[in-house]
């Protein structure tokens, strides 16, 4: 009876007007049925000796009325049935030879039969209400927690986004700074060194061709200056390869691979599709750095004999593949360990120019790093 009512309520709430209507009709039908049954039992009580319609039968009417939605119905039914029982007591036919107390006892027992189920039903109702309340409170709690969760996920996403922006900004700032230092070294310090050398060469010419101690000293100084100038140039290159700004990504990569090959003895193949679009400085620098990082990883870990760098144009973007034939690694291990840091750095760098990066590797079968940057970026 409990679950039955609950289901009815649910149906009434969820499935709109017509269901509500039919449920009402059923309720009314139930009231009529209870009334009819009551009348029937009353008639039986009057007609048959010993009050056949007592106890069990009347309690059935009470149970039936309890199944209805109307809270008042069971009580009204119980009161009516009690009244009918009492009313029928003096009029119902007697069984000859049976003492009067037996009949009266029978009627009192009927009253018990009518009211006991009611107590049981009301207790049941109360428990049900309590359960419903607890349920509602639980649902409310779940709703609140779900909202909390959604909010914190949003916050997490936002902070992740901020982190990416910040990382991008840091990387750009760092790159800017390095570019500036390189420029200072190259364009200022080195130019002055060159001029100094010119001046000293002029002095050298004025001293004349006769060998002298002064000239020897001058030559040594000049040689020192030349070495210093070379060192400064190399320092500037390490900070930021000006070739990237002056001659573009292709020339810079060629130089990078050239240096890599002569430094490590690894054979380097370079394939570069001509570009229709001009890459802006930030994007080409990001690509350059990531390729540089891949190459330095290869030099440090891969034990490769061959490296391939391919730059191709795909629809909207530039695809760069760096492939080596080295020892490779277990990708899952790298994802777990701190070895992922260099990879993270590469990803962040490309992310800062809306690009992406994928690494594929298997132990003993080399490593392939694939990068992508969109080409539609407006040059800055």
Partner 1 sequence: MTLPRVLLADDHTLVLEGFRRLLDDQCELVGTVGDGRALLESIPELKPDIVILDISMPVLNGIDAARVLKVKFPQVKVVFITMHADPAYVRAAFEAGASAYLLKRCVGEELGQAIRAVRSGNFYVTPLVTKDVVESMLRGIDGGAPSGPELTTRQREVLQLLAEGHTVKDIAGTLKISPRTVEFHKGQIMEQLNLHTTVELVKYALAQGLTSQT
Residue ranges binding partner 1 (CB under 8 A): 186-188, 190-195, 197-199, 201-202, 205, 226, 229, 233, 242-243, 245-247, 250-251, 254-255, 257-258, 261, 267-273, 308, 310, 312-315, 319, 321, 323
Q: Which is nearer to partner 1, 125 or 250 (CB)?
A: 250
Q: Considering beta carbons, is residue 143 or 230 the nearer one to partner 1?
A: 230
Task: For residue 112, give Cα distances in angstroms to 29, 109, 118, 184.
Answer: 27, 5, 10, 106
φ/ψ of 321, rounded to 5, equals -120, 125
Give me the least distance between CB of 214 and partner 1, in Å please: 18
Output the smallest distance, CB 309 to partner 1, in A. Answer: 9
Cβ 371 to partner 1 shortest distance, Å = 15
Q: How far is the CB of 250 from partner 1 (least distance, A)?
A: 7
Nearer to partner 1, 107 or 179 (CB): 179
Q: Are 267 and 307 in contact (CB under 8 A)?
A: yes
Comparing CB distances to partner 1, the nearer of 175 and 324 is: 324
The distance of closest approach from Cβ of residue 211 to partner 1 in the complex, given in angstroms and rounded to an integer, is: 18
Interatomic CA distance for residues 321 and 360, integer angstroms: 11
Nearest approach in angstroms of CB 273 to partner 1 is 5
Task: State whether the Cα torsion 190-195-201-203 is positive or negative.
Answer: negative
CB atoms within 10 A of CB 309: 23
From CA 28, how far away is CA 310, in angstroms rounded? Answer: 82
User: According to the 3-state scheme, what is the secondary structure of 124-180?
Assistant: HHHHHHHHHHHHHHHHHHHHHHHHHHHHHHHHHHHHHHHHHHHHHHHHHHHHHHHHH
Query: Measured from the CB atom, is 169 or 223 closer to partner 1?
Result: 223
Compare residues 194 and 217 and give the one whose CB is closer to partner 1: 194
> What letter does residue 276 receive in the DSSP assignment?
S
* Min separation Cβ 268 and partner 1, Å: 7
Residue number with CB closer to partner 1 (94 or 192): 192
**292 contacts 311 by C-beta, under 8 angstroms:** no
Q: Closest distance between partner 1 and the C-beta of residue 261, in Å?
A: 7
DSSP secondary structure of 198-257 = HHHHHHHHHH-SS--HHHHHHHHHHHHHHHHHHHHHHHHHHH--HHHHHH-HHHHHHHHH
Nearer to partner 1, 75 or 203 (CB): 203
* Category of 193 on φ-ψ map: left (φ > 0), alpha (ψ -120 to 50) or beta: alpha
């Amino acid at each position: 009876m409990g679950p039955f009512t609950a289901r009815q309520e649910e149906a009434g709430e969820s499935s709109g007007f017509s269901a509500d209507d039919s449920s009402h009709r059923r309720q009314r039908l139930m009231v009529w049925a209870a009334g009819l049954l009551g009348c029937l039992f009353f008639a039986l009580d009057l007609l048959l000796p010993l009050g056949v319609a007592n106890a069990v039968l009347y309690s059935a009417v009470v149970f039936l009325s309890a199944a209805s939605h109307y809270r008042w119905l069971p009580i009204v039914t119980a009161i009516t049935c009690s009244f009918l029982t009492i009313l029928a007591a003096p009029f119902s036919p007697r069984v000859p030879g049976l003492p009067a107390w037996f009949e009266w006892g029978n009627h009192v027992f009927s009253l018990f039969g009518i009211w006991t189920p009611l107590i049981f039903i009301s207790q049941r109702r109360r428990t049900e209400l309590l359960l419903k309340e607890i349920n509602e409170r639980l649902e409310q709690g779940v709703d609140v927690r779900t909202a909390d969760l959604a909010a914190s996920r949003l916050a997490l996403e936002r902070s992740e986004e901020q982190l990416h922006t910040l990382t991008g900004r840091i990387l750009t700032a760092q790159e800017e700074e390095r570019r500036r230092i390189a420029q200072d070294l190259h364009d200022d310090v080195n130019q002055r060194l060159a001029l100094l050398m010119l001046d000293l060469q002029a002095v050298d010419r004025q001293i004349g061709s006769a060998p002298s101690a002064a000239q020897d000293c001058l030559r040594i100084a000049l040689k020192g200056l030349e070495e210093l100038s070379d060192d400064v140039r190399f320092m500037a290159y390490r900070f930021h390869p000006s070739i990237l700004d002056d001659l573009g990504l292709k020339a810079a990569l060629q130089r990078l691979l050239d240096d890599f090959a002569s430094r490590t003895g690894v054979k380097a193949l370079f394939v570069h599709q001509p570009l229709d679009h001009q890459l802006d400085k930030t994007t080409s620098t990001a690509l350059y750095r990531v390729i540089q990082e891949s190459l330095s990883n290869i030099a440090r870990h891969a034990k490769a004999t061959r490296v391939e760098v391919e730059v191709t144009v795909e629809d909207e973007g530039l695809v760069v593949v760096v492939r080596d034939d080295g020892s490779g690694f277990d990708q899952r291990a790298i994802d777990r360990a701190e070895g992922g840091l260099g990879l993270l750095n590469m990803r962040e760098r490309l992310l800062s120019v809306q690009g992406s990066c994928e690494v594929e590797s298997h132990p003993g079968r080399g490593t392939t790093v694939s990068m992508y940057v969109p080409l539609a970026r407006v040059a800055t």
